Amino acid sequence: MRIAYLINQYPKVSHSFIRREILALERQGFDVLRIAVRGWDAELADAEDRSEQARTTYLLKDGMGALAKAVLRVATRTPGRFLAALRLALRMGRRADRAWPYHLIYLAEACRALPALREFDARHVHAHFGTNPAEVAMLIEALAGLPFSFTVHGPEEFDKPGFLGTGEKIRRSAFVVAISSFGRSQLFRWAAHRDWNRVKVVHCGLEPSFHDVPPAPAPAAPRLVCVGRLCEQKGQLLLVEALAQLAAKGIAFEMVLAGDGELRGEIEALIARCGLQGQVRITGWIDSGRVRDEILAARALVLPSFAEGLPVVIMEALALRRPVATTYVAGIPELVRPHENGWLFPAGSVDTLAAVLETVLATPPAELQRMGEAGRRRVLERHDVDCEAAKLARYFEEACA
């Protein structure tokens, strides 16, 4: 079966879960066309991402002239469908988070995608994220009658569903994927009750090549790791404040911030003001192998997020037998169980976070190992990429039947 995946930027270092899902579907026997709006010139640390980059069709690679030609071609050949799609794009621009010219660009991107979809003989389009990729997929359906679906991750889609036209996208879709029960509940808020049956839960998954490594004992050294984009929603500034409290009490620790992002300068400045340069290290973007090594070298993963969907790095840490200290946010409590495979704490409290970090650092290695084993069992039960891809495959087949 031939399907197309539509993503805003692909591949992307923080979106390895999309690559894993595509490759798992191909192991299920699907042919998958990768289509992305941008990303052809991105510098990538991971060899697998570089391979995917070479296999991807990019809608903006040939510039605005190619978009204009695509619009003219579709408007000339199928004027009725084009006008219907144009009306839909303009309607999506009302009370949207972006003005209507953006929605005309989404229409142009949909027109630009049609030749590749037809040449590939795609039978279904699946978009990742309920933002502009889902709208482009919806406009492709309006232009060519090709059924579409999309996966909602959060938290951005949960912050402004009314401005994103989430209810309209759900109504027109063949189905919608939420990555957690919490995510499904948020989609129910914006979908008409008659459309609730379109919402499915398919978890993000891990491939065995990432976590099939010899068991490594939890280190006795007081080292912790936080993996993620350096941005406001991940809470790294709060984490540095909590670490400053530990330092003031004379508690030994080392914290690795694995990632990069728009808040790096501000985080580095705070580290310097707190005098923590010798105890906190920022790696910048690293490939999946380095991520695995950093997790294995730590006693636990710490993720003090303010907003989330269900972070893949939590699954990765648990699969590698490392417990997780994180917040009661979104779908996280569906995976992390307090004192069984990690610690949960309220988001936004620096004092509580400091207390949890002190607990993690004081936990004996044998107890960390027990929690890590429990976490691995739980994540492999719920997040095997091939099992989750099999669920998704059934939904694709039903949509195309």
List of E strands, 217-365: 223-227, 254-258, 280-284, 300-303, 324-327, 342-345
Sheet arrangement for strand 2-9:
56-58, 31-38, 2-9, 124-128, 148-152, 175-178, 199-201
Task: Say what the pLDDT of residue 43 is.
Answer: 87
Q: What is the mean pLDDT of residues 18-40?
A: 97
User: 113 pLDDT exceeds 90?
Assistant: yes
98 — pLDDT class (breaks 50, 70, 90): confident
Percent pLDDT > 90 in the chain is 89
Helix (H), strand (E) at residue 151: strand 148-152
Output phi, psi for 257, to 5 deg.
Answer: -100, 100
User: What is the length of the chain?
Assistant: 401
- Using the structure block, give the residue that is written with the tokens 């991105």: 42
Any idea where the domains of the chain sit in the sequence?
Answer: 2-205+384-400, 209-382
Distance CA 170, CA 141 (A): 13
Task: Say what the pLDDT of residue 163 is.
Answer: 87
Q: Give the lowest-confidence range in 153-157, 176-180, 188-192.
A: 153-157
User: 97 pLDDT exceeds 90?
Assistant: no
User: 45 pLDDT exceeds 80?
Assistant: no
Task: Say what the pLDDT of residue 159 is.
Answer: 87
CA angle at 20 for the pair 17 and 23, rounded to the nearest 5°: 150
Cis peptide before 11 (omega within 30 of 0): yes
Nearest residue to 357 via CA among 305, 300, 295, 291: 300
Cβ 11 vs Cβ 44: under 8 Å:
yes
160 — pLDDT class (breaks 50, 70, 90): confident
Mean pLDDT of the chain: 95
Output phi, psi for 225, to 5 deg.
Answer: -135, 145
Distance CA 123, CA 148 (A): 9
3-class DSSP assignment, residue 149: strand
Q: What is the mean pLDDT of residues 239-261?
A: 98
Distance CA 351, CA 297 (A): 26
User: 36 pLDDT exceeds 90?
Assistant: yes
User: 57 pLDDT exceeds 80?
Assistant: yes
Task: Say what the pLDDT of residue 274 is.
Answer: 98
47 — pLDDT class (breaks 50, 70, 90): confident
User: Which fold, 2-205+384-400?
Assistant: Rossmann fold (3.40.50)
Cβ 178 vs Cβ 200: under 8 Å:
yes
- For the segment 353-377, what is each residue's pLDDT rounded down to a tens digit? 999 999 999 999 999 999 999 999 9
Distance CA 375, CA 377 (A): 5
Distance CA 340, CA 337 (A): 5
User: 212 pLDDT exceeds 90?
Assistant: no
Task: Say what the pLDDT of residue 124 is.
Answer: 98
Task: Say what the pLDDT of residue 358 is.
Answer: 98
255 — pLDDT class (breaks 50, 70, 90): very high
- For the segment 73-86, what is each residue's pLDDT rounded down to a tens digit? 999 999 999 999 99
Output phi, psi for 54, to 5 deg.
Answer: -70, -20
**Same fold flag, 2-205+384-400 and 209-382:** yes
What is the DSSP-derived secondary structure letter of residue 218? P
User: How far, CA to CA in Å, does 246 sit from each of 152, 276, 295?
Assistant: 37, 11, 21
Axis-axis angle for helices 132-144, 79-92 (nearest 10): 150
Q: Give the lowest-confidence range in 8-17, 121-130, 230-239, 371-380.
A: 8-17
Distance CA 300, CA 322 (A): 5
User: 257 pLDDT exceeds 80?
Assistant: yes
Distance CA 383, CA 211 (A): 12
- For the segment 274-297, what is each residue's pLDDT rounded down to a tens digit? 999 999 999 999 988 899 999 999
Domain 209-382 CATH assignment equals 3.40.50.2000:
yes
